[in-house]
Amino acid sequence: MTQNIFCIGRNYEKHIKELHNQRSDKPVVFSKPTHALAAADGQSIALPSGQGAVHYETELVIKMGRDFEPEMQVDDLVDEMAIGLDLTLRDVQQKLKENGHPWLLAKGFPQSAIISDFFSFPGVEQCNEKTFSLLLNGIKVQEGCIRDMIFDLDEQIRYIASHFGLKAGDIIFTGTPAGVGPLSDGDQLVFLWDDTEVGSCIIVLR
């Protein structure tokens, strides 16, 4: 069962550029309530309307298989992974940023963390050789590889553990590559790990 949902922002250079953000010298961390979770198991998922654009951010999600201990490596700590969407009310987030307010209103709404089934984590080395991607109505709109991360999985885990604690069942959305964009009512989403479909859903936005 998922305990805490941590998310890393601004972790891929090209995504930072597309949103005209600044690169940070430390991981940018935020979290979502557990009510944000929604399974990409083929179901229709309702999202907020009337608050501006809802953007998809496709991310590799890791799950802690055991409580953090400093001497352990990523491959010892992480037991499963998934592909997920860190959904973002982009217009709301822009206003929050301008006012220096936390992002929770833009990032923490119900069903804002859509996630495929978890599957066995193959290890960092193998993840470095594979891609994760999102098909939007059959067209690949995002493709990423964790090799391109600014802060790698080990740095993320250590940073989160030192500031917030990190235990078995906690999950981390590890940041989105470039290509984020708005969702529309009826959009069909398919999550791919390499070329294998690992989840899907249909967006309801009215």
Nearest CB to Zn ion, comparing residues 53 and 168:
53
Position closest to Zn ion via CB: 86
| Per-residue contact flags (x/-) with Zn ion for residues 123 to 162, judged by CB under 5 A | ----------------------------------------
Under the criterion CB under 5 A, does residue 86 sit at the interface with Zn ion? yes
Under the criterion CB under 5 A, does residue 176 sit at the interface with Zn ion? yes
Nearest CB to Zn ion, comparing residues 2 and 66:
2
What is the spatial distance between Cα 57 and Cα 156, in angstroms, rounded to a whole number?
18
Nearest CB to Zn ion, comparing residues 127 and 180:
180
Under the criterion CB under 5 A, does residue 112 sit at the interface with Zn ion? no
- Residue ranges that bind Zn ion, judged by CB under 5 A: 57, 86, 176
